[in-house]
Structure 1
Amino acid sequence: MAVTLPITGACHCGAVSYEMKIQPRFAVECNCSVCRSLGTVWGHGEAGDITVTAVPEATLSYSRGDKELAFHTCRTCGSTTHWEAIKGDAKGRMAVNLRLAAPGTIEEIGHRHFDGADTWTFLD
């Protein structure tokens, strides 16, 4: 199903927003320890297809493990807005938290569950 493009979203206080110019193949809910804790549903794309708007220092960046991904959270309201691949094979990729987009966006795109905790495969 097609959604209206661009897909836009913002943190609770509005300090960080995003615009995704393409429709992701599907919305991804991952069960790894980070994504499960953050409660995110991701829309993946190339960095060139996503624009994040925020003043400098508006987000906190968090990386763990192999430090290939940097998760960004608004310093003011605590909403996790996006991640960006900062090294490794995924460098140049980003994902936005579709839970911050308009209601119904995730359902319109299609929702898949990914086993990032164990098998590194989709569960559906």
Structure 2
Amino acid sequence: MPVEASCHCGPVRLIVQAAPSEITECNCSICRRYGVLWAYYPKSAVTFEPAPPATHTYIGMIAR
């Protein structure tokens, strides 16, 4: 069963084809506040929708 998530502002979704086999619980103040759990996948296992240019401006701002 695919797992879907989205970025904070919503227009970009990511999809992986299977649930993670392992998750990590971070104990920093932000992750604790929001109940965040982390999963790690190889880049080839993740599909992004929509693909760039939806992230072009954001990525450009980070690269500065």
TM-score (norm 1): 0.34
> Which of these residues, 34, 39, 42, is aligned with residue 38 of structure 2?
42
- In structure 2, give the amino acid aligned to 1:13: C
Matches of 1:21 and 1:28 in 2, distance apart?
19
More strand by share: 1
- Structure 1 gap segments, 5+ residues each: 62-124
> Which of these residues, 47, 50, 54, is aligned with residue 51 of structure 1?
47
Correspondences of 1:7-46 after superposition (within 5 Å): 7-31=3-27, 36-39=28-31, 40-46=36-42
- What is the alpha-carbon root mean square deviation over aligned residues? 2.7
Identity between Structure 1 and Structure 2 (%) = 25
- Structure 2 gap segments, 5+ residues each: none
More helix by share: 2
Does structure 2 conserve the Cα–Cα contact (< 8 Å) formed by 1:29 and 1:41?
yes
**C-alpha deviation, 1:27, in angstroms:** 2.2
**C-alpha deviation, 1:11, in angstroms:** 2.8
Matches of 2:3 and 2:23 in 1, distance apart?
12
- In structure 2, give the amino acid aligned to 1:57: H
Which secondary structure state, in structure 2, belongs to the residue aligned with residue 26 of structure 1? coil
